[in-house]
Chains A and B, each alone.
Chain A
Amino acid sequence: METTAEGFEAAFDAAVAADERIEPRDWMPEAYRASLVRQIAQHAHSEIIGMQPEANWISRAPSLRRKAILMAKVQDEAGHGLYLYSAAETLGTGREELLDKLHTGRQKYSSIFNYPTLTWADVGAIGWLVDGAAITNQVPLCRCSYGPYARAMVRICKEESFHQRQGYELLLALSNGTPAQHEMAQDAVNRWWWPSLMMFGPPDDESAHSAQSMAWKIKRHSNDELRQRFVDICVPQAEALGLALPDPDLRWNEERGRHDFGAIDWAEFREVLKGNGPCNEQRITQRRRAHEEGAWVRDAAAAYATKRRAGSVPAEDGVRMMEATA
């Protein structure tokens, strides 16, 4: 292969066509790099903003077992954020820059987290539906053409699958519990079902980034295809839970071999995306506040690390220092 721009591009195209992985040091088109950074950053931001609605229930978890599971889950989300910011870093964009874009509204996170968690059952509904939708979206990303992202997704999907199961199991306990618990579970499913379907993004004919991402094998299936797959998975699970999905048009279509379902309110989707959801302001304000209130801590860690490097502070004996922000 020639070492000209055309040669590099041909090699890239050939690697993608052959389902080979693109690695950080490989040549890649700038638009491919930009598209990946945008997608990975949005995913990372979704993980850390997504901690908020669930963390809202840690202090009120109704049993110690549930409390431990929920804390571990929220901790996993922070861990996912870490892997993903690292994956973005392999493309030359650091965490600080991405956080700044999140805090100033120049990058987005999944709109689903702009909905509130009003009862304990919402923790279950998020696990079952929101994490379930995320898995449906993310499993194909394990085969994404960009190596570091694909590998991060393998690990993330394993943990997400645990999250989905705990949500399902939480709802099952409520559904089979007292009438008040059952009602709490049904109410949560009523509120989370439609926003979960919106997580797959706009319909295929309106999706801005889809076609190019599919060609680059960043994305493997269309929004509508994944949404249909998710509905088909959820229907029997809802039956097993003894909970109804809030869609009068939902029914099996023998001919298609899939479920038909009702029209999604895309006006609501666009409004929430624009910033007018129930919690947009609250989520970003809390994120910004945590970052601003933590500035002195990160400054201290950086100053201490600088002193250590300069030798004015004795080196630690065999202890790994976490130079978080140095």
Chain B
Amino acid sequence: MNDAPVTAPPRAAALALGDDALVLSHRLGEWAGHAPVLEEEVALANIALDLLGQARILLSLVGDEDELAYLREERAFRNLQLVEQPNGDFAQTIARQLYFSTYQLFLYRQLAAGDSAFTGLAAKAVKEVAYHQDHAAHWTLRLGDGTAESHERMARACGALWRYTGEMFEPVEGLEVDWRALEDSWRESVAGVLERATLTLPDGPRSGAWRAGAGRQGLHTEPFGPMLAEMQHLHRSHPGASW
């Protein structure tokens, strides 16, 4: 038994993990009614709901979930730029899922094995995330090794999102993670899936040439502002109201 008092969760870390889940959940929710096949309406909503559940727990560790989700400005969000990228076609969504769910899987495995304010959450989330990664990997195989068109679309999507993968391994204050090992596991796993899908790991730069910072520092990409405007507008239109 470990009777040590649970220390307050580090705010930066809770926001980083919580915002990743919140923002990706929102993006996946945009697929509702637009998915290529009915089974994917169910699957994408399922993943979105898992992520929203994680976000609510994480944000509630450090404040009021709704205040944090609806009343922060763009520059105060700490999510990766990857998760805010628009859905694009189904290949782009799957490439984003593959990169992010693989990252989340190895990150949460480390957190689940550790002893921090995030251990319990990570232990539960890792099971959900394993399904998300499985879903993304299998669609990567189908699209990569399906038709000439799907192969082309999947290759393009993996390439286009590659530049947002570097910041995933920038250490987050308050997370006790072996970032180097995380990166190695991630790279090996993603490369393995891509290879089986007859695709190759992109070799371009993994971050933008503009070095002003990235999502973890509150610097986002243009599509994020409109996304937040839509997400926050109703809540902000009725200050103080309960829903």
Q: Which of B78-86, B134-142, B169-177 contacts A (4 or more CB under 8 A)?
A: B134-142
Given contacts A75-B42, A299-B150, A322-B39, contact A294 B90 (CB under 8 A): yes
- Which of A62, A290, A316 contacts B36 (CB under 8 A)? A290
B204 at the interface (CB under 8 A from A): no
B20-47 toward A: CB 8 Å interface, digit per residue (1/0)?
Answer: 0010001001101111111111110110
Contacting pair B33 A290 (CB below 8 A): yes
Contacting pair A60 B38 (CB below 8 A): no
Q: With a 10 A CB-CB cut-off, give which of B48, B53, B55 has the most chain A CB atoms.
A: B48
B156 at the interface (CB under 8 A from A): no
Given contacts A51-B32, A81-B38, A181-B238, contact A75 B243 (CB under 8 A): no
Contacting pair B150 A64 (CB below 8 A): no
**Chain A residues with CB under 8 A of B134:** 319
A250 at the interface (CB under 8 A from B): no
Chain B residue at smallest Cβ distance from A292: B36
Contacting pair B230 A60 (CB below 8 A): yes
- From 141 to 164 in chain B, residues with beta carbon under 8 angstroms from any chain A beta carbon are 141-143, 145-147, 149-150, 153
Q: Which of A101-109, A132-140, A143-151, A300-308 contacts B (4 or more CB under 8 A)?
A: A300-308
**Chain A residues with CB under 8 A of B53:** 68
- Which of B40, B143, B150, B243 contacts A62 (CB under 8 A)? B243
B209 at the interface (CB under 8 A from A): no
**Chain A residues with CB under 8 A of B146:** 299-304
A10 at the interface (CB under 8 A from B): no
A240 at the interface (CB under 8 A from B): no
Q: Least Cβ distance of A228 to chain B in Å? A: 33
Q: Least Cβ distance of A29 to chain B in Å? A: 30
A-B contact count (CB 8 A): 155
**Chain A residues with CB under 8 A of B42:** 75, 78-79, 82
Interface size (A, Cβ < 8 Å)?
A: 57
Q: Which of A13-21, A35-43, A172-180, A252-260 contacts B (4 or more CB under 8 A)?
A: A172-180
Q: With a 10 A CB-CB cut-off, give which of A59, A178, A324 has the most chain B CB atoms.
A: A59
Contacting pair B90 A75 (CB below 8 A): no
Report Cα–Cα, A64/B26, bound state, in Å: 10
A10-54 toward B: CB 8 Å interface, digit per residue (1/0)?
Answer: 000000000000000000000000000000000000001001100
Contacting pair A62 B48 (CB below 8 A): no
B181 at the interface (CB under 8 A from A): no
Report Cα–Cα, A52/B235, bound state, in Å: 22
**Chain B residues with CB under 8 A of A291:** 36
A294-326 toward B: CB 8 Å interface, digit per residue (1/0)?
Answer: 111111111110010000010010010110110
Chain B residue at smallest Cβ distance from A85: B38
Chain A residue at smallest Cβ distance from B60: A64
B183 at the interface (CB under 8 A from A): no
Contacting pair B241 A181 (CB below 8 A): yes
Contacting pair A319 B138 (CB below 8 A): yes
A58 at the interface (CB under 8 A from B): yes
Q: Least Cβ distance of B219 to chain A in Å? A: 23
Contacting pair A51 B36 (CB below 8 A): no
Contacting pair A51 B235 (CB below 8 A): no
Q: With a 10 A CB-CB cut-off, give which of A67, A82, A325 has the most chain B CB atoms.
A: A67
- From 76 to 105 in chain B, residues with beta carbon under 8 angstroms from any chain A beta carbon are 89-90
A55 at the interface (CB under 8 A from B): yes
The list of the 3 closest CB pairs from A to B, nearest first, reads A294-B36, A300-B146, A300-B150
